[in-house]
Amino acid sequence: MTLSAPILFLLLLAVVSPWWVARSRMSFVVAGGLLHLGIAGHYILLLSGVAGGGGMPAENGADFFPTDLIEWSFLGTAWGLMFAALVSGIGLLVFLYSAGYFGATPKGIRFFLPLLAFEAAMLGVVLADHSILLFLFWELTSISSFFLIGFLHSETTSRWNAQQALLVTGTGGMCLLAGFLMVGTEWGTHSLEAWRGMAVAGREIPMVALALMLAGAATKSALFPFFFWLPNAMSAPTPVSSYLHSATMVKAGIFLIGALFPLFASSAGIMGVIVGMGAATAVTGLALGWVQTDLKKILAYTTLSVLGLLAFLLGLGTVESVRVAVLLLLGHACYKAGLFMAAGAVDKATGTRDLRALAGLAKAMPALWIVCLLLGLSAVGFPPLLGFLGKEYGYGLALPNKGLSLGLSAFLFLANLTMMVLILRVAVKPFRPDAALEAPGVKAIPKLMMLGPAVLALAGVFLGLTSPFLLSPMVGAVVSGIAGDGADYKLALWHGFKPALYMSVATLVGGWFLYKVAVTYGKQNVVTRRLGFAENTYTAMVKGLMVGAAATTGFLQSGDLRRYLHLFFGGILLLVVGNWWVSGFGVARLFASMEPVPLLEALLVAAMAFGILLVVLTMSRITAVLGLAIIGLGMAFLFARLGAPDLALTLMLVESLTVVLFIYIVHGLPKIRNITKPPGRIFDACLSLGVGGVMALLAMKAQSVQLHPSISGTLNEWSYTLAKGKNVVNVILVDFRALDTMGEITVIALAALGVRLVWLRKSEMKAKGGKP
């Protein structure tokens, strides 16, 4: 199976999911689960091969797209395959969890389409080797996540939050595309692997392109100051939160920083910005999470903090910091997805996610309590669980400057200490007995909703214990692929009695003590108001955009046809003349290359000009129609003069019929009145002459431009030999352009049908005595 085959399978399953779920939900769940299992196994095998020293699998379908700008090109780097394994593995658990979460409700019928489309797009993001292909998958994640976040579309909050996420990440996507195009144009290739090689070789990179690509990554991973959309996206159903906002979508920006690490590392300024954004995001997430009482909101803000730490560690740029980032990412993906699923199970069983109303659930839900305890221990870095590795190695980081190393250790200690308090509130607080609270009525939850958290909790234990054997080769390959070194490093759970161990113990003890004695929620409005300036800025910008759009619409869509014509023709005139001015268009050269106009053709043009003046100056509608007839007949004579008698005959028949119909229609109408003042008429005349002159010049210019070889000779040859027709024009219309002609006929027929229906409706209303 190729790298891209799972993507196509998931997209196919997404397309048929509404029909399949509606008809046989159980068979869909079984088939989808087996497909996910196969995909996860496929990527894990590929990852183990790369980690074992094998070559990176590649796929290149250059002819997949009809343009050279994009290629169906994929490359299985260790970094990308690790993400693919996480996306598909956790995707399997979320898929089964969703089946239990929605059950047989109608919501489940429409849920799997955007979920599976998102999963396919995420796989495309982490495996694509062509920057434009990566961008297409990147935008598909934004679009599919919009439908997932706004899944409860009847709620105003869900719609607003979905729009917010789409606007923020979509704007970042446009920045990302601009950066990709700049680098691709500058370096002559869009291959990410080639970019990494050129960056390592010292090729100069446009600073603007790096800033634009970083903006795309920052908006996707909710880095400061774009953090506000992530907590608001918790209005989505729990399966969405556990998947998009723990292990996949919000990690896409982190993935991009790692995938283009040599490019970003070439600029110390950009790496400094990444460090600053990461630190600010981590602090903001912890500060805002401290005052939350909703389980999912607390998890969202701790996710925000971890994303900040990941960016911070990658921004440091050392091999050791990259290793810590990889370990932290692995641990976070496992425990955070499980905790989100557990929060959804609590909500499903009790009907609330508010910590102030939750207590004593250990007795009613003992299995979930044990699972949450394991997940929480991994999250706080309790040995020997998977989460312990990231924290332990983080405390062991050393920077060249001793003062910076101490500052880094202090920062990580405070971050881990605060995060432990928040995690304990989610994993412990709802299950502890509290006499002051009455345990809400607990409902039984589907077993499929317990499968995901349980598997992830056990995975944290298993991978933590076996990390020296199972994870060392993979982490080494990933770190080597990102930073260019560190492939031979072997992980260990015990490093002796060193400062890192003492800091880990201090974190656990201090975190538990702080959880027991600290006031963990209170002045929420004050904190939110002080740190919510970014969202307030976004809201003000959206409101300003809507006000501006309303004002622009009021000006442009005034209902005045004359204003529409002014804006339309004035816009054309400005664009064309402006382009000519910039490009140095030579009008004199056009007139110099003109051939003399024969006398007969000049007389015909003069007659048509007379007809135009007649139409413009007359106050009689019939006279205006006759003036139009003069113009049409003059054009017909010109066609005949230039060798197109069939076209001239057709035009004469159409003009004659049109004149008769117009005279019949306007016969009873009043005379034309001047409703425009003289200055307005002068402006209209100037605008008309300007547009007419520009169109004439464009026609003259078109005669001197030949971008491709002429096809007129070929059409003459094919007319009789292929279509058996001697009239080339007719053959073009009914053979070479048959579908186009059929479309035109269809449009005319539909218009006639519409007119006929309106007339019948009018007659029916008259017959009933009502107003038509």
Residue 59 DSSP label: E
Q: What is the pLDDT of residue 103?
A: 86
pLDDT band of 554, cuts 50, 70, 90: confident
Measured distance CA(385)–CA(465) in Å, rounded = 7
Dihedral pair phi/psi, residue 187, rounded to 5°: -100, -10
Half-sphere exposure of 301 (CA within 13 A, CB side): 26
Q: What is the pLDDT of residue 322?
A: 94
Residue 580 has pLDDT above 60, yes or no: yes
Measured distance CA(732)–CA(186) in Å, rounded = 44
| Helix pair angle (268-289, 207-220), 10° resolution | 20
pLDDT band of 590, cuts 50, 70, 90: low
Label residues 316-328 b or e (16+ Cβ within 10 Å = b): bbbebbbbbbbbb
Measured distance CA(150)–CA(507) in Å, rounded = 38
Measured distance CA(70)–CA(8) in Å, rounded = 18
Domain range list for the chain? 1-266, 277-465+505-523, 558-594+681-705, 598-673, 715-772
Cβ atoms 701, 590 nearer than 8 A = yes
**For residues 700-720, average pLDDT:** 78
Measured distance CA(288)–CA(458) in Å, rounded = 30
Q: What pTM was computed for the model?
A: 0.79
Nearest Cα to Cα of residue 99 among 235, 234, 239: 239
Peptide bond into 384 cis (omega under 30): yes
pLDDT band of 697, cuts 50, 70, 90: confident
Residue 149 has pLDDT above 50, yes or no: yes
Per-residue pLDDT tens digits for 8-49: 999 999 999 999 999 999 999 999 999 999 999 999 999 999
Per-residue pLDDT tens digits for 263-272: 999 999 999 9
More confident residue, 318 or 670: 318
Residue 520 has pLDDT above 60, yes or no: no
The runs of H, that is alpha helices, within 466-523 are 472-483, 499-517
Residue 317, Ramachandran bin (φ over 0: left; ψ between -120 and 50: alpha; else beta): left
Measured distance CA(578)–CA(587) in Å, rounded = 14
Cβ atoms 20, 32 nearer than 8 A = no
Nearest Cα to Cα of residue 475 among 465, 459, 490: 490
| Helix pair angle (78-102, 107-127), 10° resolution | 180
Nearest Cα to Cα of residue 341 among 453, 246, 251, 234: 453
Q: Among residues of the chain, what percentage have pLDDT more than 90?
A: 44
**For residues 509-521, average pLDDT:** 76
∠704-706-709 over CA atoms, to 5°?
145
Q: What is the pLDDT of residue 767?
A: 80
More confident residue, 713 or 448: 448
Q: What is the pLDDT of residue 553?
A: 82
Residue 50 has pLDDT above 90, yes or no: yes
Measured distance CA(74)–CA(125) in Å, rounded = 10
pLDDT band of 695, cuts 50, 70, 90: confident
Q: Lowest-pLDDT range, 194-203, 451-460, 559-568?
A: 559-568
Per-residue pLDDT tens digits for 225-264: 898 889 899 888 999 988 987 767 889 999 999 999 999 9
Label residues 113-129 b or e (16+ Cβ within 10 Å = b): bbbbbbbbbbbbbbbbb
Q: What is the pLDDT of residue 732?
A: 82
Q: What is the pLDDT of residue 552?
A: 84
Q: What is the pLDDT of residue 436?
A: 45
Residue 465 has pLDDT above 90, yes or no: yes
Nearest Cα to Cα of residue 402 among 394, 410, 413, 393: 410
pLDDT band of 591, cuts 50, 70, 90: low
Measured distance CA(90)–CA(82) in Å, rounded = 12
Per-residue pLDDT tens digits for 398-420: 776 777 888 888 899 999 999 99
Nearest Cα to Cα of residue 514 among 286, 742, 240: 286
How deeply is 556 buried, as exposed, middle or buried, from its count of CB atoms within 10 A (0-12, 13-18, 19+)?
A: exposed
Measured distance CA(299)–CA(295) in Å, rounded = 6
Measured distance CA(645)–CA(643) in Å, rounded = 6
Q: What is the pLDDT of residue 457?
A: 94
| Helix pair angle (621-641, 645-666), 10° resolution | 180
Cβ atoms 377, 461 nearer than 8 A = no
pLDDT band of 500, cuts 50, 70, 90: confident
Beta bridge partners of 60: 73
Residue 522 has pLDDT above 70, yes or no: no
